[in-house]
Structure 1
Amino acid sequence: MEKNSEHIKELIIRKMSREEVEFAVEMAAAEGWNPGIHDGELFYEADNDGFFIAELEGKPAGCASAVAYDDSFGFLGLYVVKPEFRKKYIGRKLTEKCLEYLEDRNIGLDGVVENEKKYQKMMKFSSSYSNLRFEGKGGGEIPGGIVKISEVPFGKLLSYDRRMFPAPRSGFLKKWINQPDSYAFAALEEGAMKGYGVIRKCRVGYKVGPLFADEQDTAEKIFRALKASVPGETVYLDVPEPNEKAMEIANKYHMNVMFKTIRMYSLKEPDIELDKVYGVTSFELG
């Protein structure tokens, strides 16, 4: 314990610069989380005060993000400690820093299954449901009735997104739908938004997220358009397990479950239309 106390005294936890966010992305890649190739820049846009790095003896030892979307909701992610620095209370100190930053907001996270009980006990978070990562293949044809997202007024998209996400995220969303190496489509009916989706290039293959839609048929059309945009590529889709219709789409296209996370919240499950969430935006930012 005395040795660990010495380590804690030498530990520095501070805010990351934009360039240092790439360290967090590389840590995520080393853990097998397969980040998007532009995630560093895009994540930082969500909250440039909410990314933290832990340094021990002058060396980067770990990282975590705590994105404050507004005054009532935040999200924890990119929580990694280098293997050689584990069991030195670094993870606990990073957690404390993140919780201090997010104050009394309702906080969400997607935790790996083996850490669920730890988050329940140490952080007093409650488990809400599982998210499943599916893997499949790109290809097919873009169906009719789908438009490029650039044809949708941004204000209309932002209002629609807010129904399925617990807080407004204007700055982040504007960058997310326009990122390089990505495709984004929407469904409109008499000018009204009925759904939208994005697929982005990752270290391996492409990830869909978000995929929001009012109806299963609409979600499937958008999904088909997204996967048709990356023929022959590996495609990933992160599905909330309670959304049975989303699970049906993944199974219909012969996608395989790779792993699952546990969606947890510090206060309560947000009042969003989860039945219209066919694909999570990202496990790091919610």
Structure 2
Amino acid sequence: MIPRQMTRTELDTALDWAAAEGWNPGLDDAEAFWQADPQGFFAMEDQGQMVAAICVVNHDQAMAFLGLYICERSYRGRGFGHALWQHALGHAGSRSVALDGVPAQQQNYARSGFAPAGRTVRLAGPLPAGEATGISPARLEDRATLSALEAKACGYFKTAFDQQWFSDTHSRHTLVHHDGGVIDGLVTLRACRDGFKVGPLVAPSTEVARALLAACAEQSGGAQVMIDVPDDARDLAALCADLGLRQVFSTTRMYRGAAPLTGSGLHAVATLELG
């Protein structure tokens, strides 16, 4: 079996596999993922069928992100996934590569040169009602501003991904906070196979983050909401705890190569699959 590029239709299959593993992808994730870097999705094939999947998406000239690493159950433990992993990493070239790894796989990732840089904690629960003061829907013409805000928070640009992610669909919506007519905070809420996920969230203060999450509460209607918070965003984690969200699992952010310089303020991860 030889690794090859994935087709767009196979990405839908990979996300179905992810759902079966409990990763709970969003209902409209596939197209935004694909448009981030259509050349960055890879598959291992056996007798005309995809048996393993992975993505290494090149976000900018310095940073790539690895995710959606999954092998069909009957093919696990036979070396097919590792061969695909090695092939896909070549797509990053000289870029640093990031991933969010579960504890059981971190030693395997370390053998490929990935070093831990901190935890990401998933907090979950229904969001309580609150005052969504200063919040309005994002406009298409805001996307460059939103991309720059998130790049300042996470340390690198995801321009192609953001162009799709910050464009509303029937199940994904981005909201912004204005201060004196200037956007200083944002949040994206997307419906998933089960409940909703928040991400990214960028806010200059706890008060702005609280307003953004109150707006998410209005849209999620009491359903389960999940948010992935880096461990250096302690004020956001404390706010989520105050709102009644509880930890359900964690991953470790790991880098092969130099880690980016993240910004101050409150920040939640857009997606564990693409950063």
Scaled by the length of structure 1, what TM-score is found? 0.91
8 Å contact from structure 1 (residues 195, 214) kept in 2: yes
- Root-mean-square deviation over aligned CA pairs: 1.6
What corresponds to 1:65 in structure 2? 55
SS at match of 2:177: strand
What corresponds to 1:224 in structure 2? 214
Render the CA deviation track for 1:166-225: whole Å, top value 9, x for unaligned: 332233212212232123211111233221001001000010000011112111111111
Of 120, 127, 137 in structure 1, the residue corresponding to residue 116 of structure 2 is 127
**Pair 218,98 (structure 1): closer, same or farther in 2 beyond 3 Å:** same
Render the CA deviation track for 1:208-259: whole Å, top value 9, x for unaligned: 0000111121111111111221112111111112211011111111112111
What corresponds to 1:246 in structure 2? 236
What corresponds to 2:125 in structure 1? 136
Render the CA deviation track for 1:152-171: whole Å, top value 9, x for unaligned: 63332232222023332233
Q: Distance in 1 between matches of 2:257 and 2:250?
A: 22
Q: Distance in 1 between matches of 2:27 and 2:221?
A: 18
What corresponds to 2:173 in structure 1? 183
Q: Distance in 1 between matches of 2:255 and 2:59?
A: 15
Matched, 1:235 2:212: no
Q: Distance in 2 between matches of 1:58 and 1:272?
A: 43
Of 104, 111, 135 in structure 1, the residue corresponding to residue 94 of structure 2 is 104
Stretches of structure 2 lacking an aligned partner (at least 5 in a row): none
Q: Distance in 1 between matches of 2:58 and 2:163?
A: 17
Deviates more, 1:142-151 or 1:93-102: 142-151
SS at match of 1:20: helix
Deviates more, 1:167-176 or 1:260-269: 167-176
Of 64, 70, 76 in structure 1, the residue corresponding to residue 66 of structure 2 is 76
Letter in 2 for 1:56: D
Q: Distance in 1 between matches of 2:42 and 2:195?
A: 28
Of 47, 52, 60 in structure 1, the residue corresponding to residue 42 of structure 2 is 52
Q: Distance in 2 between matches of 1:141 and 1:248?
A: 16
Q: Distance in 2 between matches of 1:40 and 1:264?
A: 24
Moved over 4 A (4+): none
What corresponds to 2:143 in structure 1? 154
SS at match of 1:153: helix
Scaled by the length of structure 2, what TM-score is found? 0.94
What corresponds to 1:272 in structure 2? 262
8 Å contact from structure 1 (residues 216, 246) kept in 2: yes
What corresponds to 2:79 in structure 1? 89
Q: Percent identity?
A: 29
Task: Name the count of aligned residue pairs.
Answer: 274
Q: Distance in 1 between matches of 2:77 and 2:212?
A: 44
Q: Distance in 2 between matches of 1:16 and 1:45?
A: 13
What corresponds to 1:7 in structure 2? none
SS at match of 2:70: strand
Q: Distance in 2 between matches of 1:166 and 1:200?
A: 23
Letter in 2 for 1:282: T
SS at match of 1:229: helix
Larger Rg: 1
Matched, 1:15 2:5: yes
**Pair 234,129 (structure 1): closer, same or farther in 2 beyond 3 Å:** same
Stretches of structure 1 lacking an aligned partner (at least 5 in a row): 1-10
Render the CA deviation track for 1:113-169: whole Å, top value 9, x for unaligned: 11111111x211110011111111145245221121128633322322220233322
